[in-house]
Chains A and B, each alone.
Chain A
Amino acid sequence: MKTTGKVTGIISNLVTVEVDGPVAQNEICFVDLHGTRLMAEVIKVTGNTASVQVYESTRGMRAGDKVEFQGYMLEATLGPGLLSSNFDGLQNNLATMDGVFLKRGEYTPALDESKLWEFKPLAEVGQQVSAADWLGEVKEGWLPHKIMVPFSFKGTYTVKSIAKAGEYRINDTVAVLTDADGDDVNVTMVQRWPVKVAIGAYADKPRPYKVMETGVRCIDTLNPIAEGGTGFIPGPFGCGKTVLQHALAEQADADVIIMAACGERANEVVEIFTEFPELKDKHTGRSLMERTIIICNTSNMPVAAREASVYTAMTLAEYYRSMGLKVLLLADSTSRWAQALREMSNRLEELPGQDGFPVDLSSVITSFYARAGFVRLNNGATGSITFIGTVSPAGGNLKEPVTESTKKAARCFYGLSQNRADKKRYPAVDPVDSYSKYLEYPEIIEYLDNRVEKGWADKVIKTKYIIRRGKEAFEQINILGDDGVPIAYHEQYWKSELVDFIILQQDAFDEIDSSTPLERQQFMLNTVIDICDHKFNFGNFEECATFFKGLINICRQMNYSEYKSEQFDKYYSQLRKELENE
C-alpha cells in the first residue's frame, strides 16, 4: 500500500501534505493537479504533516489535492545511452520532449529502451561477483561501456548464466546471478541509484598521483589539477568563468565530460550542444559530443530541481568511474545550488546561518566534493572523477559562505580577478592568489619529473616567484615613479610581464593558442625562464621596456603559430637573436 496524502498548504513551491501512512525523508511523491502529476521530494516531516518541495511551478494547486508517495528517493537511471544526452536536473531527456516550451508534469525516460546494443560478455559462469563488478560490455560510441552488477546488490553472487555476444535492449536480461541464499536474480543493462547516496562499490581511494592535462597554461603549468582531484573557480561576473569552463570541457584529457549547468544561462548550454558535435576531441579525433553529457537546470527552470541536478550529475560520473574511466565533472555554478538551498530553508522558516544560508551549507558542500576522487576498482582497474565547480560570489567578494565553504573542500583554487578581466588579461586567473595543493604532493612532483622533465615542480615555483617579485616591483614603481627606482626593478617587473603575456594569458578564441599541449607548455616555459635568467645591462628604464615589449611581441607571435612550424622556428630564432644582441 502506497502512502497517500492531501495538500494542506502552499507557499510558492513548498507544499505541506497531510499523510495517511509512513513517509521517508527525501522520498519522492507526486501531487495530482487535475491529471497533471507534479514530482516532489519530502524535505521535512512533523507529525503527520510532510513538507515537500515541488520540482515545478505550483500554479493552480489547491488545498485538498491528492498526493501519492512512491517509497523511493530521487534516482538516476544508469545504462548505455547516457553519453551525448541532454538531461534536465531530474534526468528527463530534453531532446524527446514535445514542443518549444517545457510542459509541467512531462517526464521523459532517460534512456532509449528500444535501441539495440552490441553486448560482449566479460564474466564467466560460476564466477563470484559483487556490486559494480563487470559482467559484460557494450560499445557506447567508441567507449567500452561496462555492464555491471547493480550497485545496490549486497554480498557476493555466483554467475549462473550470462548472455552470449549479440544485440540486446537495455531491459533484456543479460545475466542471472545466484545470491548466497541460492535465489536467482536477473540483471539487465540498466539499473537505478538514489542520487544523494555516493556509489561506494570500489576497493580503495588512493591519493591522486597523475595530472589531468587541460591545455590551459595557467592551470597545467602553474597550478595543475590532479586526475581525481578537486578544484573551484570563483569569480565576479564577466571575468571569464564560462569561457574557462568550456575550454576545460573541450580540451581536458578525459574519457567522459559531464557538465552540470546549474542555474546558469540557457544560451551557454545551447553553445555546447551547437558547437560540441562539430568540434573534434583532440585526444581521440571523435566528435566532442560523443563523450559529453549535459545536465541542465538553467536559471529559468524550477529552482527545486537545481539541487537535484548536481547530484544527478555526480551519480552519472560515479557510474562511469566504476567502468574504469576518467571522468571530468564540471558544475556551473555551485552558488546557484547553494541559493536554491537557501530559498527552501527560508520557506521552511529554519534559523538562518550566515547571509541567510542554511547552517549545514559547509558540510553539504564538503561531502559533495568528497564524492570525487581517484579509485581502484575491485578488479584492480582505476577510474577517476575530477571535479571542478564554479562559484559566483556576491559582489565578487570572496568572503562569503559559499566561497569559504568550498575553499575548505577543494584542493585547487583558480580565483578570477576583476582587475585582470578589466585589463582583458584572459584567462583572468589570478597568478598570485590561486594555488594547487597537488603541487605539494610528492607523488605529483614525481609524476611531473617523469611526464615533463626532472625538476619541473621547482621551475613552476620559480615562475611563481618571478610573478610575485614583478608585482612587488610594479607597486614600488607606482609609488616612487619610473625614475625613483633602480633599473633592476623595471627589469623585474618586465620579466613578470613576459610570464604574464606568454604563459598566463591565452586566447580562448584563437584556433592554435586556445589549447596548448604539455610539451609545448614545457618549451615555452623554458624559453621564458631562459630569458628571465639572462643578464641584462639596460642603460635606462625605457630601454628595458622597449626591449621586453619587443620580446613579448615575438613570443606572442610564437603562441599564435603552429608548434615547431617554419613560422614558429622563424620567430624563435628572431627571439634568440634579440637576446644575443642585448
Chain B
Amino acid sequence: MSEKAFQRIYTHLTAITKATVTLEADGVTADELALVAGRLAQVVKIKGRSITLQVFGGTEDIPTNAEVTFFGEPPALNVSDDLAGRFFNAYGEPIDGGPAVEGEKRQIGGPSVNPYRRRQPSQLIPTGIAGIDLNNTLVSGQKIPFFADPDQPYNQVMSMVALRADVDKIILGGMGLTNDDYLFFKNEFESAGALHKIISFVNTTDQPPVERLLIPDMALTAAEYFAVDKNEKVLVLLTDMTLYADALSIVSNRMDQIPSKDSMPGSLYSDLAKIYEKAVQLPDGGSITIIAVTTLNDGDITHAIPDNTGYITEGQLFLRSDPDSGKVIVDPFRSLSRLKQLVQNKVTREDHSAVMNTSVRLYADAANAKTKLENGFDLNDYDQRCLNYAREYATRLLAIDVNIGITEMLDTAWELFGKYFTKAETGLKDKLIEKYWKGN
C-alpha cells in the first residue's frame, strides 16, 4: 500500500484515544485507508470536516503533530494465482520473505452474492472422522465452526480436516494465533506437501489485536478470487473467531458505543454474519466452505460470541473429552450440521440418517443411565447394555482419531446395534432392519 504523489499531508490531530485519532480534513470518503505516523488506519466516522480514524496498530506514542495521509480507497488485496503457497499479514503483505504479489487490486469486504444466484450445496466433504461424517456430515458451501474449550486440540483437528478434504485451495485466516500454532500450521501444510494450494493470512498474538479485524475479509477476498474467477473449490479456515470478536468489542468500546450482551457491540450478529455468509455454492461449480473455531469459556455456549455464531452458521461441531473412553470426541448432542440432509441417504447409503438418529438416541439413553448410576440407583439390564454400547460407540465412532470411510462407519454402527440391542429397541424401520441387521 503505497502513498500517491502530491498527497496532502495533515499534521494536526484534534483528539487521540487508545484506538482512534481525530483530525480536520477535506474530501475524505467513508471506509478509506490512511497512514497515521506510519501506521495503517481506517476512516470510521465523518462529521463535517472532522474525521475519526481507527488506527490498527494502536495509538501508543502518536503525537498531535503526527503526519496523516489519506489513500482515497478502502483496504484492498492484489489477487492472482500467485497468491497460492504464500503467507501474508493482516494487511496482505508477504511475511514469508517472498516478493509482493502482482495482480488485480480488489477491495476487501466487498458485496454479497445475490441469493438468487446461489446454488444449493450438494457435494459431500468426507473427513474420515465419524463424529463428523456419520453424525454431522459436511457439505461444500457450508459454514460451520468448532466450538471448543481452549484446551481442546481444535487447530489440530481443523488442519486434519482441511488436509483430508478434497478441495482446490485452502485459505487459512489466523487471528491471534500463538506463534507456536502458526508454526504448527506451517509445518503441517509443508509436511503434507500441500503448500502449493494453501494461502495464509496470519495475525499472531505478538501483533496488535485490532489488526485481526482485517484477516477474515482478506482471506475471503482471496477465496472469492479462486471460487468466482477460477471456479475452484475453496476451503477457508478461520481461527479463532472469539479473538476476532474480542477485537470488535475493543473498537466499539473505544468509540463509546453502548455495549449489548457480554460487552459485545450490538452489531456483533451482523459483523459475524458478513463473514460467514461468504460461504457459498456458486452456479459455475466454484464454492467457498468455511470451517472456523470459536473458543468457549468452560463450554458456555450462551455467551454472546458462540450464541450469535450458532444462529449464523450451519451447525457447529462440539469438541469435548469423554472421560469414559478417554478420548476427545465430537459431542453428538451439541453438534449439528444443518446441511447434512442434503447429502445423507442421497450421496451416502440409504440407511445413513436412520442409523445416525438411532445411534445418538441410544447414546442419550446411556447418558440417562449414567445419571442414574451417579445418583446411586440400580441399573437394569437395558441401562447396562446402553453403557457398554456408549463406551464402544465413543471409542470406535465418536473419537476424533478415527479415520474410516462412511460405509464402514454405518456398518460399525449396525454391528453395535446387533451386539447390544434387540431390533425393537432400536425402533428402526423394518425395511432397513431386514437389509442391514447384524446379529440375532
Chain A residues engaging chain B, CB cutoff 8 angstroms = 8-11, 16, 57-64, 86, 94-95, 97, 99-104, 236-238, 242, 263, 265-267, 269-271, 273-275, 296, 298-301, 303, 333, 336, 339, 342-343, 346, 352, 355-356, 392, 394-397, 422-424, 478, 481-483, 509, 542, 545, 549-550, 552-553, 556-557, 560
B261→A355 contact, CB < 8 A: yes
Q: List 7 A-B contacts (CB under 8 A).
A: A101-B113, A267-B314, A299-B269, A355-B260, A423-B364, A483-B377, A552-B427
A267→B141 contact, CB < 8 A: yes
A298→B364 contact, CB < 8 A: no
Given A62-B27, A343-B266, A542-B380 in contact, is the A265-B111 Cβ separation under 8 Å?
no
A100→B47 contact, CB < 8 A: no
* Least Cβ–Cβ distance between B118 and chain A, in angstroms: 5
B425→A549 contact, CB < 8 A: yes
A481→B378 contact, CB < 8 A: yes
B5 at the interface (CB under 8 A from A): no
B98-123 interface code vs A (CB 8 A; 1 in, 0 out)? 00000000010011111111111100
B121→A267 contact, CB < 8 A: yes
B273 at the interface (CB under 8 A from A): yes
**Which residues of B have CB within 8 Å of A102?**
111-114
B97 at the interface (CB under 8 A from A): no
Docked pose: A63 CA to B376 CA in angstroms? 72
**CB within 8 Å of A: which B312-368 residues:** 312, 314-316, 333-334, 336, 338-339, 341, 353, 357, 360-361, 364
B113→A346 contact, CB < 8 A: no
B277→A298 contact, CB < 8 A: yes
User: When A and B form their complex, which 7 residue pairs have the shortest distance between CB atoms, in order from nearest?
Assistant: A395-B302, A300-B277, A299-B273, A237-B310, A94-B116, A481-B377, A10-B46
B270→A342 contact, CB < 8 A: no
Complex partner residue of A266 from B277, B333, B429, CB under 8 angstroms: B277
Complex partner residue of A265 from B266, B274, B314, CB under 8 angstroms: B314
Please count the residue pairs between chain A and chain B whose beta carbons lie under 8 angstroms apart in the complex: 199
**Which residues of B have CB within 8 Å of A339?**
266, 269-270
**Which residues of A have CB within 8 Å of B49?**
63
A299→B258 contact, CB < 8 A: no
Docked pose: A550 CA to B49 CA in angstroms? 77
* Least Cβ–Cβ distance between A89 and chain B, in angstroms: 12
B360-388 interface code vs A (CB 8 A; 1 in, 0 out)? 11001000000110011110111000000
Docked pose: A403 CA to B371 CA in angstroms? 32
B398 at the interface (CB under 8 A from A): no
A267→B111 contact, CB < 8 A: no
Q: Which of B28, B111, B310 has the most A CB atoms < 10 Å from its CB?
A: B111
* Least Cβ–Cβ distance between B229 and chain A, in angstroms: 10
B115→A296 contact, CB < 8 A: yes
Chain B residues engaging chain A, CB cutoff 8 angstroms = 27-32, 44-49, 74, 107, 110-121, 141-142, 228, 257-261, 266-267, 269-270, 273-274, 276-280, 282-283, 301-304, 307-308, 310-312, 314-316, 333-334, 336, 338-339, 341, 353, 357, 360-361, 364, 371-372, 375-378, 380-382, 424-425, 427, 429-430
A482→B315 contact, CB < 8 A: no
**Which residues of A have CB within 8 Å of B120?**
267, 270-271, 274-275
**Which residues of A have CB within 8 Å of B314?**
265, 267
B266→A9 contact, CB < 8 A: no
* Least Cβ–Cβ distance between A143 and chain B, in angstroms: 23
B307→A394 contact, CB < 8 A: yes
* Least Cβ–Cβ distance between B296 and chain A, in angstroms: 13
Given A300-B277, A343-B266, A550-B424 in contact, is the A60-B113 Cβ separation under 8 Å?
no
**Which residues of A have CB within 8 Å of B424?**
549-550, 553
Closest A-chain residue to B255, C-beta based? A11
* Least Cβ–Cβ distance between B395 and chain A, in angstroms: 22
**Which residues of A have CB within 8 Å of B336?**
238
* Least Cβ–Cβ distance between A389 and chain B, in angstroms: 15
**Which residues of B have CB within 8 Å of A300?**
112, 273-274, 277-278
Docked pose: A293 CA to B49 CA in angstroms? 45
**Which residues of A have CB within 8 Å of B112?**
101-102, 266, 298, 300-301
**Which residues of B have CB within 8 Å of A236?**
310
Given A356-B258, A482-B377, A483-B378 in contact, is the A103-B311 Cβ separation under 8 Å?
no
B116→A61 contact, CB < 8 A: no
Q: Which of A59, A94, A271, A550 has the most B CB atoms < 10 Å from its CB?
A: A59
**Which residues of A have CB within 8 Å of B304?**
394-395
Docked pose: A348 CA to B194 CA in angstroms? 50
Given A356-B260, A557-B429 in contact, is the A266-B270 Cβ separation under 8 Å?
no
B44→A86 contact, CB < 8 A: no
Q: Which of A237, A263, A424 has the most B CB atoms < 10 Å from its CB?
A: A237
* Least Cβ–Cβ distance between A399 and chain B, in angstroms: 12
**Which residues of B have CB within 8 Å of A63?**
28, 46, 48-49
Docked pose: A191 CA to B320 CA in angstroms? 58
**Which residues of A have CB within 8 Å of B308?**
394
* Least Cβ–Cβ distance between A497 and chain B, in angstroms: 12
* Least Cβ–Cβ distance between A58 and chain B, in angstroms: 5
**Which residues of A have CB within 8 Å of B427?**
552-553, 556
Given A63-B46, A100-B113 in contact, is the A356-B259 Cβ separation under 8 Å?
yes
Docked pose: A507 CA to B307 CA in angstroms? 26
B315→A238 contact, CB < 8 A: yes
Q: Which of A63, A342, A556 has the most B CB atoms < 10 Å from its CB?
A: A63
Q: A9-B48, A270-B118, A300-B112 are in contact. List 15 more A-B contacts (CB 8 A).
A: A16-B47, A59-B30, A62-B29, A95-B116, A97-B114, A301-B115, A342-B266, A352-B258, A355-B260, A355-B261, A396-B307, A424-B364, A478-B375, A481-B378, A549-B424
Docked pose: A63 CA to B333 CA in angstroms? 53
Given A10-B45, A542-B380 in contact, is the A394-B261 Cβ separation under 8 Å?
yes
* Least Cβ–Cβ distance between A112 and chain B, in angstroms: 15
Docked pose: A552 CA to B112 CA in angstroms? 48
**Which residues of A have CB within 8 Å of B378?**
481-483
Closest B-chain residue to A299, C-beta based? B273
Docked pose: A483 CA to B334 CA in angstroms? 32
Docked pose: A130 CA to B6 CA in angstroms? 67
Given A100-B283, A237-B307, A424-B360 in contact, is the A343-B114 Cβ separation under 8 Å?
no
Docked pose: A560 CA to B110 CA in angstroms? 48
**Which residues of A have CB within 8 Å of B360?**
424
B30→A423 contact, CB < 8 A: no
Given A8-B48, A237-B310 in contact, is the A266-B113 Cβ separation under 8 Å?
yes
**Which residues of B have CB within 8 Å of A394?**
261, 302, 304, 307-308
**Which residues of A have CB within 8 Å of B283?**
100
Given A263-B273, A342-B260 in contact, is the A61-B29 Cβ separation under 8 Å?
yes
Docked pose: A271 CA to B116 CA in angstroms? 11
* Least Cβ–Cβ distance between A324 and chain B, in angstroms: 31
**Which residues of B have CB within 8 Å of A478?**
371-372, 375
A100→B141 contact, CB < 8 A: no
A61→B30 contact, CB < 8 A: yes
Docked pose: A57 CA to B273 CA in angstroms? 15
Docked pose: A128 CA to B214 CA in angstroms? 64
Closest A-chain residue to B380, C-beta based? A542
**Which residues of B have CB within 8 Å of A64?**
27
Docked pose: A336 CA to B117 CA in angstroms? 23
Docked pose: A182 CA to B48 CA in angstroms? 53
**Which residues of B have CB within 8 Å of A346?**
257-258, 266
**Which residues of A have CB within 8 Å of B301?**
395
Closest B-chain residue to A300, C-beta based? B277
* Least Cβ–Cβ distance between B176 and chain A, in angstroms: 24
Docked pose: A100 CA to B283 CA in angstroms? 9
* Least Cβ–Cβ distance between B255 and chain A, in angstroms: 9
Docked pose: A219 CA to B50 CA in angstroms? 57
Docked pose: A343 CA to B107 CA in angstroms? 25
* Least Cβ–Cβ distance between A270 and chain B, in angstroms: 5
**Which residues of A have CB within 8 Å of B278?**
300
Given A62-B28, A263-B273 in contact, is the A8-B116 Cβ separation under 8 Å?
no
A9→B312 contact, CB < 8 A: no
B339→A267 contact, CB < 8 A: yes
